[in-house]
Amino acid sequence: MKKFQLLLVAIISISLITSCGNSGKKQNSEKKAKALTGAGATFPQPFYNTIFKTYTKSKGLLVTYGGIGSGGGIRSLKDKIVDFGATDAFLSDKKLADMPGNVLHIPSCLGAVVAAYNLPGKPELKFTPELMEGIFMGKITKWNDAKIAKINPDAKLPDLAITVVYRSDGSGTTFIFSDYMSKVSSEWKEKIGAGKALQWPVGIAAKGNPGVAGTISSTKGAIGYIGSEYAFAQGIPIASIQNQAGNFIKPSVQSVSAAAAGDIPNDTRVTLTNTTAVDGYPISSFTWLIVYKEQSYNGRSKDQAEQTKLLLKWVLGQEAQSKTSKVHYAPLPEKAVVKAHKILDLMTYDGRGL
């Protein structure tokens, strides 16, 4: 008998718990947002880490960001497990069509991919697009090659083999770099192409921006491409690159901002590489936060959606944008901010504007 009573109590309590769960579900849309989660590109991660920390401190809402790579960010958004994704390569029309809902691109800042090298004496080097093609395709194999010396008459070039270092994992940084290379070199476009992972003719590979930076700084004669922040942080020398106008440009806040001087389409999906701007650094790019246009998915509450929009608005604002240069990124130009705000206004919850 006692056993029976115990069983009865158990059944009742279980049914009570489940009914509570049900009523909880109904009220889900009223629930307050506790935290926002995002995931994606590692290229802008130092910037996101800084600003999201500030946001969490000042607004009291926890924002977490996982640097899992641009592709991972897109997949996380596709699986609807994050509030926003982040990517360095905008979604192509085909990929947009593959997503379960309309996806909006909101540019968050500008970054540069730099050609960083390790040479004794740290000479300052200048590269033309032809030199870049020659070095990264393995046609120029020695640092004291006459072609490099011709462009850099003042630099002391050692008799050292060139070791190209590239990313072993798929990466938005690789996409930006190869997009540039495909624009300036027809041979590159034909043989290698642009993408997040490539078939490299020469060189060694390391994982992640930090991995490439570490391999460059520990290998004499190495050259590789990394997000600018990683080169500055480790004090690795960076080359000036000749842009379309013929000027040799060092990556800096000004030269990267200048690269975005041209026209920007309304959805901001544009590559800035090989810019026509006279003082623009040629391997610059926007990096984007991506969200669903329709914010009511996967049982998200309206507050969650509103908080997501507030966060994105704040990222575009003065406070966050002024932090870009501290971590060697560049703020968005005014035009881009205006367009981004217009894109944010498209966000809806259950079909109604937020």
Partner 1 sequence: MMAVGILATLIVGSIPTFKEFGFGFIFSSDWNPTEGRESYGALPFIIGTIATSILALAFTFPFAFSIALFLGEYYKKGRMSSILKSMIDLLAGIPSVVYGLWGFYTIKPIIVELGLNAQGFGIFTSAFVLAIMIIPYASSISAEVINMVPSNLKEAAYSLGATRFEVVKNVIIPNAGSGIFAGFILAFGRAIGETMAVTMLIGNSNKIPTNLFDLGNTMASLIANQFGEAEGLKYTSLVAMGLLLFVITGILNLIGKMVMRKFTA
Residue tagged 């390790």 (tokens) = 118
| Residue 38 C-beta: closest distance to partner 1, Å | 16
In this structure, the number of other CB atoms found within 10 A of the CB of residue 26 comes to: 8
| Residue 202 C-beta: closest distance to partner 1, Å | 9
| Residue 173 C-beta: closest distance to partner 1, Å | 11
Nearest to partner 1 of 148, 206 (CB atom): 206
**Alpha helices, H only, the chain:** 2-26, 45-59, 70-78, 93-98, 129-136, 146-151, 172-184, 186-191, 208-218, 228-234, 253-259, 302-316, 318-321, 334-344
Residues of the shown chain interacting with partner 1 in the complex, contacts defined by CB under 8 A:
68-72, 75, 161, 163, 168-171, 192-200, 203-207, 211, 214, 218-219, 221-222
Round to whole Å and give the CA distance between 251 and 326. 14
CA 233 to chain centre: 17
| Residue 185 C-beta: closest distance to partner 1, Å | 15
Nearest to partner 1 of 200, 314 (CB atom): 200
Instruction: Give the count of alpha carbons within 13 A of 316, CB side only.
Output: 22
Nearest to partner 1 of 69, 333 (CB atom): 69
How far apart, in Å, do the first and last CA atoms of the chain sit?
58
Nearest to partner 1 of 115, 181 (CB atom): 181
Round to whole Å and give the CA distance between 166 and 209. 9
Nearest to partner 1 of 141, 322 (CB atom): 141
Nearest to partner 1 of 151, 204 (CB atom): 204
Residue tagged 């008799």 (tokens) = 159
Q: What is the DSSP letter of 226?
A: E
| Residue 171 C-beta: closest distance to partner 1, Å | 7
